[in-house]
Amino acid sequence: MATPIDVLKFFLAIDGAKGQRLLSSNAFDTLTAPPVLALAPRPNRYYGMGVNVYKDDRQFNWFHGGSQPGLEALALRTSAGYSWVVALNSRVQSDKRSTFFSELDRALWNAAKSVKTWPQGDLF
């Protein structure tokens, strides 16, 4: 079992943003590359080799979520320098997942953009 801080440390280490880099540049490029047989209607949003990716001219964000009964979690890294992990103590009903995660995503981005001054130093 990992805490949200443990997951964030892991996510930051994948590409070496913080901590010892876990994947080489080539391996990270493979992790986040579009699938060869992608038939997605939105080519800038896809599931790579283990993470979801959103990429356009301004941003490159990658994230992964998961759930089980009684638990929902999401980890995100952005090209804007933001990273967060959200852990919830309930699982969203399947018919409401899309709406819930859209609203959660919007709220987290709004919160991050509203911060005027970020703390200095290593917070973990």
Looking at residue 40, its pLDDT comes to: 59
Rounded to whole angstroms, the Cα distance separating 33 from 121 reads: 32
pLDDT, tens digit, for every residue of 3-62? 999 999 999 999 999 989 999 999 999 999 988 775 656 678 888 888 999 988 888 999
Rounded to whole angstroms, the Cα distance separating 72 from 67 reads: 4
Enter the DSSP assignment of 57.
S
Q: How many CB atoms lie within 10 A of CB 99?
A: 10
Looking at residue 124, its pLDDT comes to: 79
Looking at residue 38, its pLDDT comes to: 58
Q: Provide the whole-model pTM.
A: 0.83
Rounded to whole angstroms, the Cα distance separating 72 from 65 reads: 8
pLDDT, tens digit, for every residue of 70-90? 888 999 999 888 899 999 998
Looking at residue 122, its pLDDT comes to: 79
Show me where the domains of the chain are located: 4-34+45-114
Average pLDDT for the chain: 88
Rounded to whole angstroms, the Cα distance separating 119 from 108 reads: 17
Enter the DSSP assignment of 85.
E
